Amino acid sequence: MKIVFIPQWRNPGVPIILASDSPRRCEILTTMGISFSTQSPLVDDEASFLSMNNIEESLRKLAKAKALSVAAAQPDSLVLGADTVVVCDNVLLGKPRDEHGARAMLKLLSGKAHRVYTGVALCRKNAHFIESSVVATTVYFRDIPDEEISMYIESGEYGDKAGAYAIQGKAMVFIEKIEGCYYNVVGLPVVQTIALFNAYTIRKELHNV
């Protein structure tokens, strides 16, 4: 008889809010079995948080700022914030503003390895709890002909994607291999997100002892 193990995740006794409009992050959390609502973070000029001098620490600060911006009005909820960026040749790539920007990003990534970083933060204001993490994944692109880049841009999939591509979509044909967490490239590293929720649960249990 084959036994199939199905993990049952349950919320840690308080409402959970995802401080993001990303449908990819919503899908990952839903697949993990977590019940949550969504709310847009209220952070102005996100680019001003990011620095190549210390990309991981600056991503932590941005993820925390996103979570705290929602937690300010929802102090009893657990709020999860996240942000993803791409770094190639020491150039930081966020979301392209238009087709021209997307083309430039994809041409830069073509035939090279790049790093995808996601910062995640979990906070509950009334419990004085906030923890964060940054995860990096290396992605290798094959050489992409200009006509393929043009076809991809015409598909419109590049919009609202760090680095101008979606690994889970049509851009899968660009990728030779990855090193690290696939879901991190999609927008939310699963193991580290679970670790943040576990950190809150442990903190809560210790507080109740």
Cα–Cα distance, 90 to 187 (Å, whole number): 21
pLDDT at 53: 87
Q: What is the DSSP letter of 97?
A: S
Residue 41 near residue 70, CB atoms below 8 Å = yes
Does the annotation mark 83 as catalytic? yes
| pLDDT, tens digit (0-9, with 9 covering 90-100), for 66-85 | 999 999 999 999 999 999 99
Residue 180, helix vs strand vs coil? coil
Q: pTM of the full predicted structure?
A: 0.88
Domain boundaries, the chain: 16-208
The CATH number of the structural domain formed by 16-208 is 3.90.950.10
Calculate mean pLDDT across residues 117-137: 96
Question: Which of left, alpha, beta for 13 (phi over 0: left; psi -120 to 50: alpha)?
Answer: left
Checking if the pLDDT of 46 tops 80, the result is no
Segment 162-167 mean pLDDT: 95
Distance CA 17, CA 194 (A): 15
Candidate list 44, 45, 83, 160, residue with the active-site label: 83
Give alpha helix (H) positions in 8-54. 23-32
Distance CA 142, CA 111 (A): 5
pLDDT of residue 57: 94
Give me 205's structure tokens. 């249990």
